[in-house]
Chain A
Amino acid sequence: MIPRGIRALLAAVALFAPWAVPAATITATVADDQGRPLADAVVTISPEPGTGTPSPDGEASTPISVTIDQKSEIFVPAVVALRAGGSAMFRDSDNIRHHVYSFSPVRRFEMVQTPGETSAPIVFPQPGVVAIGCNIHDHMSAYIFVTAAPWSKVTGANGQAVLTGLPAGRFVATVWHPRLRPRAEPPVQNLSLATENSSISVTLPVLPPRRPRARDY
């Protein structure tokens, strides 16, 4: 069954006429199943295979390099989108050490960071979700969403992500969130785009934020 949000998305894009503009913008609005704006959702858009929609070079909005900071024992930002083959650096802006690690099959690594240190770039060649933690401070968590999609954005506190620089054509849109319910499939849908500005809305079934457990550090 197509999720309600994607049905709305389809209805929205169906309204668009087939004439094209060189660079369109999509504003994606993501809400949880209670209708509240959902921050840290990753919206990706990629050309639908076999439709001739060009995969742009140089205009892709998915970052090929990101920096994740650590401030007051929080990863900032907590969720990033990264182009497959891109790299991430970690910075420690706290006055204490952190021990960044990942045991995700997509990319396993670990490194100790001293105060003020910025790591060397870590390359993420394969698409997938990489969960990041700090082995000292268990409450710290971050996610790198590694994707082959040329366009992707993470929603802000208002649940919105603005994707720019899209040509006319047919696309595949996906939305992912770290708290997506385990049995829920991330919405994936084909869409046509041929207008300058458009907007879509997606509703995601998510788990409540994880409650902290007793600190033992």
Chain B
Amino acid sequence: MLTARRIAWLCLGLAALSPAPAAAVDGNIGGLDINLSGLAEFRFVAPSRESGHTAGGLGKTSWGQERGFPVVPDFGPLILRGSIGFTPDLRFVTNLRVDPKQKTAVDMLDAYIRYRPVSTSRWRWTLRAGAFFPPISLENTGIGWTPEWTLTPSAINSWVGQELRVLGGEATLEWRGERDRIEAVVAAYGWNEPAGAAIDGYGWSFSQHPVGLFGHVRLPNVDDPLGPRVYSYQFRQFDHSVGYYAGLAWERPDIGRVALLRYDNQGDPNAHDSTEFGWRTMFWSLALSTEIGPVTVLAQGMVGSTTISTAINETSRTDFWSYYVLAGIERGPWRFAVRFDQFAIRENVADAGIGGDERGVAATAAVTWTPRKGISLTGEVVAIESTRSQRQLLGRSPRATEIQAQVALRLWF
């Protein structure tokens, strides 16, 4: 039987065998503008010694000791990006993702309609409706929400990829001055009640695997390590509340960009369906980007909380914060980047058991060589030191040092 996972491997195999890099396809068919492009990744990874969070462990990296080899080859994701322009103002955009490591090997990362009428005044507005990433990340500007400077996104944007997706509508208003540019964005959405389960379940992580719209986040098997796999089913609606985010951004070419965003899914902690509970998740995000001489600097901080009801009139609140600073420089076909992350979680739980308190730091260094358009080779090392009390439930030290190294070939087509 041709399962989705087999289809995923087949797609990746065909991508590997195809003459690369091929060009993106543009065309106007029957009055519709069609654009197809994509990305395929192939890598060798030296995993960390911890069991990765994608395998139900409490490791912070995407690849862990679960395969038992010092170096493992891996394929994916394969991203297929399509957009259809119905009119010059109205477009449909989607990113399909093929990734055998995920429970839904073939899935969609986003799918939305964008409406943006042209404006010859300083004001311009845009509407988006459907399923899309909230405008939080400075790093993930590539096709299929891949990060531009590194292979592994920061802790903040790894979490955004794991748990946040807007299923609703967004309105953006821009003011475009001679030098300054100001953007105001507001959105209303649903289907995000389980957001919070992963950051509470295994804490911050460094993941290259954003969850698809029909995907599930694997949670650690700490209560029953030999038991069945535990998943959090994301993007569900059962409390009928409407979440929102609202943000402001200011940009000036000689200074940079500053963006502040408030997110609140307005989830009902007492609500649940047959598999998931509601999490009330809210946070502030502040992002800065600037150029200092030839160096690009990105910095972002996030502070928030997620709350779940553990019993009648009793809730458990998990506070979380993280920040990162990334510095990158380009020299011809070479691109160098270093990033420092710090993160922490504090669980305010009623019972006195071992909670999910966590703190840690991470350093990432990446070098990318782009010999020609459409192909690049990136070497990256991520080193993470973290303390998570939950590891004691597995009889391990709460403190862990993880190092993950990888070399990845990226082909854009």
Interface set of A (CB-CB < 8 Å, partner B): 34, 94-97, 99, 101-103, 108-110, 112, 114-115, 135-136, 179, 181-183, 207-208, 210-217
Contact = CB atoms under 8 A, between A and B. Distances in A.
Interface of B: 26-28, 33-35, 83, 85, 88-89, 91, 93, 114, 116-122, 128, 132, 137, 140-143, 145, 148, 176, 179, 252-254, 291, 294, 296
A208 B176 CA distance: 20
Contacts of A34: 294
Contacts of B137: 214
Q: Tell me the dominant secondary structure on chain A's binding face.
A: loop
Contacts of B93: 216-217
Nearest to B29: A95
Given A95-B28, A135-B118, A181 B254 contact: yes
Given A95-B26, A102-B120, A182 B179 contact: yes
A93 to B, nearest CB: 11
17 contacts: A96-B26, A96-B33, A97-B33, A99-B118, A101-B118, A102-B120, A103-B121, A110-B118, A179-B253, A207-B291, A208-B296, A210-B253, A212-B141, A214-B137, A214-B141, A214-B145, A216-B114
B291 to A, nearest CB: 5
A212 B85 CA distance: 21
A94 B26 contact: yes
Contacts of A214: 137, 140-142, 145
B141 A108 contact: no
Contacts of A212: 141
B114 A110 contact: no
Nearest to B128: A216
Nearest to B37: A215
Contact of A103 (B89, B91, B114, B122): B122
Given A94-B26, A135-B88, A182 B252 contact: yes
A115 B26 CA distance: 11
A211 B297 CA distance: 12
B252 A136 contact: no
Contacts of A99: 88-89, 118
A95 B128 CA distance: 25
Residue in A102, A114, A216, A217 whose Cβ sees the most chain B Cβ within 10 Å:
A216
A208 B118 contact: no
